[in-house]
């Protein structure tokens, strides 16, 4: 079964750090671009970051640039999001998601269940 | 503020047909394909429509998508209670280094 499972969320104080993980299974992880998308409580989806298939190219939303770092370990089939200098406005459910290739071009075809990050004192 | 504009809410009765609009610009919908996602309460988003009008396997043909110029629409015919969810459009935006943007979402209520 094709699956993405996030972990690492939790409660953190403003200015703190967290590292999210996304474990992939059921597909050739190293062949896919991967993204992080977040959703603040009661709000809509917001794109956060992306990594190409080998991790050599990354992009970030302006709101997290310089604070968040996306990375991946293809040997472990795992995507990461290192979040530093966290702010209250970073509070959200964080989803990792895969970009479909030939079958679903340009679409996020697989999503994890999400992990909640709460930034509060 | 989302670059893609959706109505915040929509509603219909069982069996009805409802449409949800998504308005963008030349740098996103005007030059790239549109994707639609369905998010049932308390769950992760699910791919509903890709490449403007194509359904992944397993998505009922009651769901259809279309695009014209810088706007797109999602139509749901034969509305069912289980269709009550949030619906998001998305497109890649050439002005943002080709990154993806989402609409603000539309909450569909089945009356």
Using CA atoms, how far apart are residues A25 and A2, in angstroms rounded to an integer? 6
Residues whose CB falls within 8 Å of the CB of residue B86, separated by 6 or more in sequence, listed in order: A44, B38, B39, B105, B106, B107, B108
Using CA atoms, how far apart are residues B105 and B89, in angstroms rounded to an integer? 7
Mean pLDDT of chain B, nearest integer = 94
- Give yes or no for B103 touching A (CB within 8 A): yes
Q: How confident is the model at residue B95 (pLDDT cuts 50, 70, 90)?
A: confident
Phi-psi region of A66 (alpha: psi -120 to 50; beta: other; left: phi over 0): left
* Confidence (pLDDT) at B99: 87
* Confidence (pLDDT) at B98: 64
Using CA atoms, how far apart are residues A110 and B81, in angstroms rounded to an integer? 24
Using CA atoms, how far apart are residues B56 and B67, in angstroms rounded to an integer? 17
Q: Over the stretch A37-52, which tens digit does the pLDDT of each residue have? A: 999 999 999 999 999 9
* Confidence (pLDDT) at A69: 98
Question: Closest Cα to residue A107, out of B60, B4, B88, B97?
Answer: B88
Q: Over the stretch B22-70, which tens digit does the pLDDT of each residue have? A: 999 999 999 999 999 999 999 999 999 999 999 999 999 999 999 999 9
For the cut 70, the answer to whether the pLDDT of residue B1 exceeds it is no
* Confidence (pLDDT) at B96: 72
Q: Which residues of B touch A44 (CB under 8 A)?
A: 2, 86, 88, 102-105
CA distance B96 to chain A (A): 9
Report the percentage of chain B scoring pLDDT > 90. Answer: 91
CB–CB contacts below 8 A, A to B: 63
For testing contact with chain A, the best of B2, B44, B45, B93 (most A CBs within 10 A): B44
CA distance B70 to chain A (A): 18
Cβ separation of B47 and A59 shorter than 8 Å?
no
- Give yes or no for B7 touching A (CB within 8 A): no
Cβ separation of B45 and A95 shorter than 8 Å?
yes
For residues B99-107, average pLDDT: 95
| Helices then strands, each counted (H, E), chain B | 0, 9
For residues B9-14, average pLDDT: 97
Using CA atoms, how far apart are residues A80 and B47, in angstroms rounded to an integer? 23
CB B7, CB B107: distance < 8 Å:
no
For residues B88-108, average pLDDT: 90
* Confidence (pLDDT) at A66: 96
Please classify residue A66 by burial: count the beta carbons closer than 10 Å to its beta carbon, then call 0-12 exposed, 13-18 middle and 19+ buried. exposed
For the cut 80, the answer to whether the pLDDT of residue B97 exceeds it is no
Question: Closest Cα to residue A86, out of A69, A108, A72, A105?
Answer: A69
Q: For chain A, list residues with pLDDT below 50.
A: none
* A39: β partners: A45, A93
Q: Which residues of A touch B104 (CB under 8 A)?
A: 44
Question: Closest Cα to residue A102, out of B51, B25, B92, B66?
Answer: B51
* Confidence (pLDDT) at A60: 93
* Confidence (pLDDT) at B2: 59
C-alpha separations of A39 from A8, A45, A115, B39, B88 in Å: 16, 5, 10, 11, 12
Q: How many CB atoms lie within 10 A of CB A100?
A: 20
């Amino acid at each position: 079964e094709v699956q993405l499972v996030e972990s690492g969320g939790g409660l953190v104080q403003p200015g703190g750090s967290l590292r999210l993980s996304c474990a992939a299974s059921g597909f050739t992880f190293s062949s896919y671009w991967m993204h992080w998308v977040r959703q603040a409580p009661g709000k809509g989806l917001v794109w956060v970051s992306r990594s190409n298939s080998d991790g050599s190219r990354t992009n970030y939303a302006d709101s997290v640039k310089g604070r968040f770092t996306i990375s991946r370990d293809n040997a472990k089939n795992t995507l990461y999001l290192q979040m530093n200098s966290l702010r209250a406005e970073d509070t959200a459910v964080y989803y990792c998601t895969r970009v479909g290739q030939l079958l679903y071009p340009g679409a996020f075809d697989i999503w994890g269940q999400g992990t909640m990050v709460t930034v509060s004192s | 503020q989302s670059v893609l504009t959706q109505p915040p809410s929509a509603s219909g009765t069982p069996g009805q047909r409802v449409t949800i609009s998504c308005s963008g610009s030349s740098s996103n919908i005007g030059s790239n394909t549109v994707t639609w996602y369905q998010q049932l309460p308390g769950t992760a988003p699910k791919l509903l429509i890709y490449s403007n009008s194509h359904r992944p396997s397993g998505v009922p043909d009651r769901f259809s998508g279309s695009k014209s110029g810088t706007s797109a629409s999602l139509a749901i015919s034969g509305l069912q209670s289980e269709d009550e969810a949030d619906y998001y459009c998305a497109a890649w935006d050439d002005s943002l280094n080709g990154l993806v943007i989402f609409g603000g979402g539309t909450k569909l209520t089945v009356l």
